[in-house]
Amino acid sequence: MAITAIRIAGLVYDAARRSFDAAVEFFNPGMPVPLRIAVRVPAAQNIEHQALVRGLVHAAERQVMR
């Protein structure tokens, strides 16, 4: 799948589960609507932004490839 743009559409930290819940959107030319994938990434609340985004995108890509 050739992905040209990715957006984190929604992000919530679940303190009880110590994880981030997010909706990741993939945009590709020719798609009428973006593909939205819900993911959960276990991480500390003070994780660096770049590491969080990378984790969310990788989790969403794994779900797409299943």
- For residue range 5-64, what is the model confidence (pLDDT) as tens digits? 899 999 999 999 999 999 999 998 888 998 999 999 999 999 999 999 999 999 999 998
> What pLDDT is stored for residue 14 in this prediction?
95
> What pLDDT is stored for residue 13 in this prediction?
97
- Is the model's pLDDT at 1 over the cut of 80? no
> What pLDDT is stored for residue 3 in this prediction?
59
- Do 28 and 2 contact (CB within 8 A), yes or no? yes
Show me where the domains of the chain are located.
5-65
**pTM for this predicted structure:** 0.86
- Gap between the Cα atoms of 23 and 60, Å rounded: 9
